[in-house]
Structure 1
C-alpha cells in the first residue's frame, strides 16, 4: 500500500492495512527488504543495514509500524540479506581501498592470466544468478570480486570473523527495534569452497541442463552452494535470537531460511539433538516438484513426502505456494486450483506461508520489455526476458476495483497493474458470499478452532490417479478430511478405499470457488462426486 502517492508501497501504507492481516487471521508478516539501498535489486542490495530506505519511510515510521502491530498482536519479520551488500555500502568502499579491518570483507581474487593471450581473466567460470560471470574486475583495487547476484551486489566473506560479528550486530539491532524474527535470504551461496594451496578456486563442470552459457544452470554449483559452513552459520544466528530472548525476555523470535537446496542439505538447517537451528527452513516442494512435472495428485504426494519423510523428529513442517521470485500460484497451478492449493497448505500439519494476493487468487500481470525493471530480466534481452523477469508476480496488491486498484493515489504505480484487478480485489471479494478470500478466511478460522488440525495425526494418499485425500485425526475429536480432484474430468470416488473407518456421510465445511455443493450438508463417503478442480474440506461429524 502506497501512503504518499508516489506509486511505491511504503511503511505507513503497510501500517494502515495491518487490520486487514488481523482480519485474515494472519499471525506474522514478513516484509521484503526495507533497508537503505540504491534499489538495483529492489532492496536486496543494501547500502546501510542499520537504516530505512527513504522511499519506504523513516526509522520512526518503522517504529510506528511495530507499535501498531503489537497492539494488534501481529508479528513483524524482516528480510535479512546476509550473502552480499550493495557496492555503495561503506564496507565495500573501504574494502576496495584495502582499509585496515576491511581488506578481506568481501571475496577478492587476482584472477588468472591467460597463457596464450596474456590477458587477465576471472578466477573461475562461476556464473551469477542474474546471468553471466560471477566475477567483476575492480579497477581501483586491481582485483576481481565475487558477486553471485548482480554486479552491484558483492559477496561478503564469511570466512572473515569480522563479517560474522558485523552481521550478528545487524540482527541484534533490529531485535532491539522490536522485530519478531528474520527470513534469511539466499542461504545456499553464503559460502564457497576454500581455495587450494596456490589460492585457486576450482571451475564448475557443465551441467547439461541448458545450452545457454550465461544461465547459472549451465554449470553445476558444487563449489559455490550448500557448503557445510552455511549450516553452522545458521546455528550461530539462532543462538543470537535465543540469547536476546534470554537476556531481554519477551516472546521468542523466529528464524526462517530461504533455500532451494536438496533435502539432505535443507533438513540440516533445523538443527540436531545438540544444537537448535532455524525454526523453519522454507519448504518449496509444492513449487519445485510442480515446476518439473506439473500439477497432479501424485506430484502433490511426492512434494509432501519429500518434506515429511525427511524432516527431523520434533520439528515443525511448513508449506509455501509462492513468493516474490516465482510466478503467482494461481497462474502456475491454474486459477481453478488456487482454492485447492490454499486448502492443502491449511490442512497439512505445520505452518502455512501465504504470499500476498494468494488469498485473493491474484494472477500474474503482463509486463512489457519497456516496463521491465527486474535485473534478472534486464540482464537478458527483449526476446527472452519473460523467461527470467520476476516482475509479473510483483505487481501492486489489489485492494479495490478503482484507480490503481486502490494501491496508490498517484498517476502511476511502480509496476503496471495485473489486468484482472477489477474483479480480483479485496473489496469485491469481501462483499461476495463466496470468494477466494472468504474461503481463505474460513480455512484460517477452522485451523484456529480445530484441535484436530493443531495436534492431530496425518494420513494422505492418491485415489483413482487424480484425487488427493488427507485425513487429520485426533482421539476424542472430529476427523477433518481434504479431498481434491486434480484431474481433467469429473470423477466419483469411494473414500472408504482410503479409510475403512469412515462414516457413511461426511459433513461439508468448506468448498472451492466453483463447487456447487452446500456447506453443512452431508455427502456420501463411498460415492463422492468431484468436478474438475473441486476441493472440499469435510468433517466426520
Structure 2
C-alpha cells in the first residue's frame, strides 16, 4: 500500500492562495431546465421555474448553475439542435423571462452559465436553409460533399463510411442541394464547418451576445466533434478503420469504427483557446468579474489536459474531468479511485484547478450507477477533493434513474435502436422531473402530465422532505458544501492512499488550519482502522458528517487508533488538538 502525497495543490500549482475570483474553488450545479421546475402548467420546465428556485440553490451553497440549452429549437435532441442561437425557446419562456432570471440570480448571488452548442445547428436554422439553397454567404457554413459513385452499381453513395453518434450513416442526402451533409449526431443536426472563418466569427458573436445579456460564462458542448479531417488534403473523405471492439458488433453503431478523421483534430484545441480569448477580451472591454469557460469532451486524458492551455495561451477554466466519470464504477477498487485522482492532480499544468464531474444529463444517475447506499459516500468524495465540484440536479437528493418504457422514450439516441436494446442507450432515465415535494407530480408542475414520467418514489424522496428531516442526503450535502469553504479544503494539500480494495483515506490541511481526515469504505463490511498509522493525529477526532446509514452522529468524538469504518459509508473527521 503506497502513500500518495499530492502537494502540487498548494498555491504554486493551483493558485488557491490568491483565490479572489468568484469561480475559484467553485461549486457548480447543472440544471436540466426541461425537468427542473414548470411554472406555467404545461408539464415542461421553464426559465421562470429556474428563477423561482434560485434561492434554493443559494441556500445549499452553490456558486453557479449551468443550464442545458434554452435556445430556440424544434427539440429533436431537446435543445441540442438549435434553430436560433440568439433566441429563447418558446416552451422555456421569453427573453424578458431570461432577463428576469439574470436579475434574480444577481440578487441571490448565483452565477448563470449557459450551454454553448457550437458543433452543429438544427436543420431548421436559417443558416442551414440558406446553405441548402447555396446562398453565397452560407454555402460553406456546413460540411457538404457530392459523395462518390459506386463502381459496381453506378449509384451515388455517401462520401465515407462514417457513422453518427446516434447510429447509422453520418451523411444525409439533400435533394435540393443535391449533396450530402455531415451530421455527427441526429440527421436534424447538421455539422457546422469550422474551416470556414465566417462560421468561427459567427459563433464568437453568439458568445458576445449572451455575455452582453449578463451570463457568467459557458459550458461548451461536444468539443471533440468540431473539426473533421481537412478535405484539401484528400480527394475524398477517407473511410474510418474498424474498431475491432468485440463489445460493439453492430456496424450501424458509432463504436464499430475508429474516429481518427472526425474527432479530436488538432485545430480543436486552438478553437478552445480562441474562445477563451473572446471571454477574456470581453472582460477587458466591459469590466466586471471573470467570465468562465467549461468544456465537455469525452476524449483522451491527454486531450482533456490540453484544454487547460499550452503554457502560452489559456484555454478552458474547467475542462470537465470525465476521466473519473468514465473509468470509475460500482466495481472499482479503492486503488483505482486513488489512481484516477492522482492522475488528474499530477497532470495539471501550473496555475489551474482540478475538477470532478461524477454525473450529468448524458449518464445514468450516480445513485443508480454506484448504488443508493453509496450516494453520500460519493458526494463526500466529490465535495472534499481539491478544486471544483460539479453536481447534476437531483444528485444532492440521491435521485435514481426512472424506468422509461419504450413507448415513453423520447431520447433520439435510444429511439434509433429497438425495444430490446433502447434502455442501455437511453439518457431519459436521468432526465426525469426534479422531485420538489410530495404533492402531485412531485411539485414539479401543476399539470396532470409531465414530458417524462416522475419517479415512483417522489413522496418519500424529495427536496422538501429532506430539508425538514434532521438527517438526510440533502442535509449531509449542505454540510459538505459549507465545509468546502474552510481554509483546509479551499487551499490545503491532500495526502491520499488506498489501504486495501475497499478503504480510501485522505487528509486535507492548510498550514496553520484544521486537519481533516476523510474515510471512505467502498465495501459492505465494517473495518477498524488505526488512523494514527497514516496521519499525525492525537487520540481523538470529531465527526463532522457521515453517510446517512453511519453509526456516527455529527459532533461525536471517536478514537483515532480504532476508528470503525462502516460499510458503504463515508465519514469526514476533524482532528482534536
Structure 1 residue 441, shift from structure 2 partner:
0.3
The answer to whether residue 226 in structure 2 is matched with residue 193 in structure 1 is: no
Match 2:120 to one of 65, 84, 90: 84
User: Contact (CA 8 Å) 1:463, 1:493: kept in 2 or not?
Assistant: no
The answer to whether residue 388 in structure 2 is matched with residue 317 in structure 1 is: no
CA pair 226-198 structure 1, distance change in 2 beyond 3 A: closer
Relative contact order, higher structure (CA 8 A, sep 6+): 2
Match 2:400 to one of 357, 363, 372: 363
| Worse-matched range after superposition: 397-406 or 279-288 | 279-288
Mapped partners of 2:229, 2:348: distance in 1: 27
The answer to whether residue 509 in structure 2 is matched with residue 478 in structure 1 is: no
The answer to whether residue 486 in structure 2 is matched with residue 431 in structure 1 is: no
Match 1:440 to one of 438, 452, 477: 477
Q: Please give the root-mean-square deviation of Cα atoms over the aligned residues, in Å.
A: 1.1
Mapped partners of 2:343, 2:253: distance in 1: 27
Mapped partners of 1:480, 1:367: distance in 2: 42
Structure 1 residue 37, shift from structure 2 partner:
0.3
Match of 1:128 in 2: 164
SS of the equivalent of 1:526 reads helix
Structure 1 residue 213, shift from structure 2 partner:
1.1
The answer to whether residue 311 in structure 2 is matched with residue 273 in structure 1 is: yes
Mapped partners of 2:409, 2:194: distance in 1: 33
Match of 1:523 in 2: 558
Q: TM-score, length-normalised on structure 1?
A: 0.98
The answer to whether residue 368 in structure 2 is matched with residue 340 in structure 1 is: no
**1:81-123 deviation line (CA, Å, top 9, x unaligned):** 0000000001001111111111110001111111111111111
User: Contact (CA 8 Å) 1:263, 1:306: kept in 2 or not?
Assistant: no
The answer to whether residue 325 in structure 2 is matched with residue 287 in structure 1 is: yes
Mapped partners of 1:488, 1:212: distance in 2: 38
Match 1:511 to one of 546, 551, 556: 546
SS of the equivalent of 1:270 reads coil
Match of 1:264 in 2: 302
Match of 1:171 in 2: 207
Match of 1:10 in 2: 46
User: Contact (CA 8 Å) 1:195, 1:202: kept in 2 or not?
Assistant: no
Match of 1:496 in 2: 532
Mapped partners of 1:515, 1:488: distance in 2: 12
Match 1:234 to one of 263, 272, 281: 272
Match of 1:213 in 2: 251
Match of 2:25 in 1: none
Mapped partners of 1:211, 1:276: distance in 2: 41
User: Contact (CA 8 Å) 1:66, 1:76: kept in 2 or not?
Assistant: yes
The answer to whether residue 474 in structure 2 is matched with residue 419 in structure 1 is: no
User: Contact (CA 8 Å) 2:334, 2:500: kept in 1 or not?
Assistant: no
Match of 1:538 in 2: 573
Q: Mind listing any 5+ residue stretches in structure 2 that lack a counterpart?
A: 1-36
Structure 1 residue 286, shift from structure 2 partner:
2.6
Mapped partners of 1:328, 1:416: distance in 2: 16
Aligned length: 538
Match 2:435 to one of 395, 398, 402: 398
Matches within 5 A, 1:61-76: 61-76=97-112
User: Contact (CA 8 Å) 2:99, 2:213: kept in 1 or not?
Assistant: yes
Mapped partners of 1:310, 1:113: distance in 2: 47
Match of 1:224 in 2: 262
Q: TM-score, length-normalised on structure 2?
A: 0.92
| Worse-matched range after superposition: 125-134 or 487-496 | 487-496
**1:393-435 deviation line (CA, Å, top 9, x unaligned):** 0000000011000000001011001122111100110111100
Structure 1 residue 197, shift from structure 2 partner:
4.5
Structure 1 residue 469, shift from structure 2 partner:
1.0
The answer to whether residue 155 in structure 2 is matched with residue 150 in structure 1 is: no
| Worse-matched range after superposition: 158-167 or 107-116 | 107-116
CA pair 279-198 structure 1, distance change in 2 beyond 3 A: closer
SS of the equivalent of 1:251 reads coil
User: Contact (CA 8 Å) 2:551, 2:566: kept in 1 or not?
Assistant: no
Matches within 5 A, 1:433-472: 433-448=470-485, 450-472=486-508
Q: Mind listing any 5+ residue stretches in structure 1 that lack a counterpart?
A: none
User: Contact (CA 8 Å) 2:335, 2:500: kept in 1 or not?
Assistant: no
Structure 1 residue 482, shift from structure 2 partner:
0.9
Mapped partners of 2:228, 2:206: distance in 1: 22
SS of the equivalent of 2:328 reads helix
Match of 2:27 in 1: none
The answer to whether residue 421 in structure 2 is matched with residue 384 in structure 1 is: yes
Mapped partners of 2:269, 2:276: distance in 1: 11
User: Contact (CA 8 Å) 1:296, 1:487: kept in 2 or not?
Assistant: no
The answer to whether residue 65 in structure 2 is matched with residue 22 in structure 1 is: no
| Worse-matched range after superposition: 465-474 or 368-377 | 465-474
CA pair 230-198 structure 1, distance change in 2 beyond 3 A: closer
Mapped partners of 1:331, 1:305: distance in 2: 26
Mapped partners of 1:181, 1:200: distance in 2: 38
